[in-house]
């Protein structure tokens, strides 16, 4: 097959970009003619990639929006640049991943070519966060059927009226352009169900769950079932990740229980202030860590903790924890319980329930054999369920269906 992978950037910007690039490499490894296209933001995954000259100009941020607000909603330049690349390659199909700043304009190329979109965020919500009033998980879907007025009225995007209006108008255009997409993929059943619940014109027969995965190099990691007596959080330091709940739990736990926090983000100063004000000397902020440094942190922790209070779509840190032989303590929300099985590969607690979170931490602290048992279960799940071969086979089944290949 000849396939174009479209993603916002050809750069290790986030989890969605990693999945897009790994998909590109898997298809290439299996003998397909695969091409990548996106915006020209450096650093690139491959600095010598042959087709970099066809990438569209990078566009992102408030300054760019103020210069050309129309581009935020409909990036005609990106559409035209992709059309040229599609005409050059003439692929059998186009597989889209993230499209922020490219806008849904990139769906409107060559109607004769089948198109598939992997959804990496909550595209069933105008704010793409599923946070009601930018605070709590929005379970009731007041914005279903394409009605974005509740998002604006409740300032669901960043508690900002301007951002909520901007995101809502973009949502209105995007779900209209979803009609150009033949098939949709989601990394969890939870997201698939919410996309259907939103009732934005996606047929249940055209949306599939295909879990995210670890590449073969990651699967070569040798798990470590011992630890150096600390719990670990890895990820962005944002309000929706629920770190304020985790620090509140740490405040009431024995001081010999240590927590390491790896990552940066907008809540960093607030979290550090809370730690200082409450004399939490057993909490350590590590800042940004590269993949090798993260591997060492995973290998030596008791368990990772994901205390989020929003709709976590999948959570790559969960399976990264598993492959290192570590269990996960996590909120019972979104796609998390599909990955972290309570009392099998980890422990689940209700989002925001500090008492339950404390009980989970203490349970592992006081039961080292349970830590090892859950870590081994997690590792087995990672290598059998979240591997390249499984992902590739599921993807090819859908591709062949799209192209009427038996």
Matching residue, tokens 């020209």: 40
Q: Express each pLDDT in 260-289 by its tens digit.
A: 999 999 999 999 999 999 999 999 999 999
Tell me the pLDDT band of 16, cut-offs 50, 70 and 90: confident
Domains 2-213+387-402 and 216-385 share a fold: yes
Tell me the pLDDT band of 105, cut-offs 50, 70 and 90: very high
- Inter-CA distances, 376 with 233, 286, 291, 369, 373, Å: 20, 27, 22, 11, 5
Average pLDDT over residues 91-113: 94
Looking at every residue in the chain, the average pLDDT score rounds to: 93
Q: Express each pLDDT in 19-48 by its tens digit.
A: 999 999 999 999 999 999 999 999 999 999
Average pLDDT over residues 163-191: 94
281 vs 59, residue with greater confidence: 281
**Is pLDDT above 80 for 60?**
no
Q: Express each pLDDT in 349-359 by its tens digit.
A: 999 999 999 99
The superfamily in CATH containing domain 216-385 is Glycogen Phosphorylase B; (3.40.50.2000)
Distance CA 357, CA 373 (A): 20
Q: Residue 182: its pLDDT value, please?
A: 96
Q: Residue 293: its pLDDT value, please?
A: 94
Tell me the pLDDT band of 315, cut-offs 50, 70 and 90: confident
Q: 264 is written with which tokens?
A: 């940066």
Q: Express each pLDDT in 291-310 by its tens digit.
A: 899 999 999 999 999 999 88
268 vs 239, residue with greater confidence: 268
**Is pLDDT above 70 for 61?**
no
- In Å, the largest CA–CA distance within the chain is 64
Q: Express each pLDDT in 181-213 by its tens digit.
A: 999 999 999 999 999 999 999 999 999 999 999
Percent helix / strand / coil, the chain, rounded to 5: 45, 15, 40
Task: Name the CATH code of domain 2-213+387-402 (choices 2.40.40.20, 3.40.50.300, 1.20.120.330, 3.40.50.2000).
Answer: 3.40.50.2000
Distance CA 375, CA 226 (A): 10
Calculate Rg over the CA atoms of the chain: 21
Report which secondary-structure segment, H or E, holds 287.
Answer: strand 283-287
Percent of the chain with pLDDT over 70: 99
- Inter-CA distances, 335 with 46, 183, 187, 190, 331, Å: 31, 20, 8, 5, 10
Matching residue, tokens 């409740």: 154
Q: 120 is written with which tokens?
A: 């990496």
Tell me the pLDDT band of 406, cut-offs 50, 70 and 90: low
Q: Residue 173: its pLDDT value, please?
A: 92
- Inter-CA distances, 307 with 236, 239, 355, Å: 12, 10, 12
CA count, 13 A, side-chain hemisphere, 284: 12
Q: Where are the domains of the chain?
A: 2-213+387-402, 216-385
Counting every residue written for the chain, the total comes to 406
Tell me the pLDDT band of 114, cut-offs 50, 70 and 90: very high
Percent of the chain with pLDDT over 90: 82
Q: What pTM was computed for the model?
A: 0.91
Q: Express each pLDDT in 115-161 by its tens digit.
A: 999 999 888 899 988 888 888 888 888 998 999 999 999 999 988 99
């Amino acid at each position: 097959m000849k396939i174009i992978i479209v993603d916002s950037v050809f750069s290790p910007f986030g989890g969605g970009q990693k999945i897009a690039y790994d998909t590109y490499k898997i298809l290439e490894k299996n003998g397909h003619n695969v091409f990548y296209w996106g915006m020209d933001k450096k650093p690139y995954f491959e600095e010598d990639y042959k087709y970099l000259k066809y990438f569209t100009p990078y566009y992102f941020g408030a300054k760019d929006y103020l210069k050309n607000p129309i581009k935020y909603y409909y990036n005609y330049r990106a559409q035209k640049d992709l059309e040229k690349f599609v005409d050059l390659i003439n692929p059998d199909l186009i597989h889209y991943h993230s499209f922020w700043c490219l806008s849904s304009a990139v769906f409107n190329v060559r109607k004769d070519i089948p198109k598939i979109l992997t959804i990496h965020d909550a595209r069933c919500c105008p704010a793409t966060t599923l946070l009601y009033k930018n605070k709590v998980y929005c379970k009731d879907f007041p914005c279903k059927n394409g009605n974005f007025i509740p998002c604006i009225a409740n300032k669901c995007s960043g508690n900002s009226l301007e951002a909520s209006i901007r995101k809502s108008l973009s949502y209105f255009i995007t779900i209209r352009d979803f009609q150009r997409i033949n098939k949709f993929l989601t990394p969890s059943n939870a997201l698939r169900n919410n996309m259907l619940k939103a009732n934005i014109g996606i047929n249940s027969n055209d949306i599939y769950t295909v879990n995210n995965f670890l590449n073969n190099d990651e699967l070569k990691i040798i798990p470590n079932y011992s630890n150096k007596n600390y719990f670990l959080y890895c990820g962005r330091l944002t309000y929706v990740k629920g770190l304020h709940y985790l620090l509140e739990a740490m405040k009431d736990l024995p001081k010999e229980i240590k927590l390491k926090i790896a990552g940066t983000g907008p809540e960093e100063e607030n979290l550090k202030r809370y730690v200082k004000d409450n004399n939490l000397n057993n909490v350590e902020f590590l800042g940004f860590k590269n993949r090798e440094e993260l591997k060492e942190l995973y290998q030596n922790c008791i368990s990772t903790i994901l205390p989020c209070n929003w709709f976590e779509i999948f959570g790559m840190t969960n399976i990264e924890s598993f492959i290192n032989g570590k269990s996960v303590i996590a909120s019972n929300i979104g796609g998390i319980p599909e990955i972290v099985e309570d009392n099998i590969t980890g422990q689940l607690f209700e989002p925001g329930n500090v008492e339950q979170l404390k009980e989970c931490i203490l349970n592992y602290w006081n039961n080292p054999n349970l830590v090892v048992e859950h870590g081994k279960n997690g590792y087995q799940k990672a290598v059998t369920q979240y591997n390249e071969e499984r992902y590739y086979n599921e993807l090819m089944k859908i591709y062949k269906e799209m192209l009427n290949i038996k």
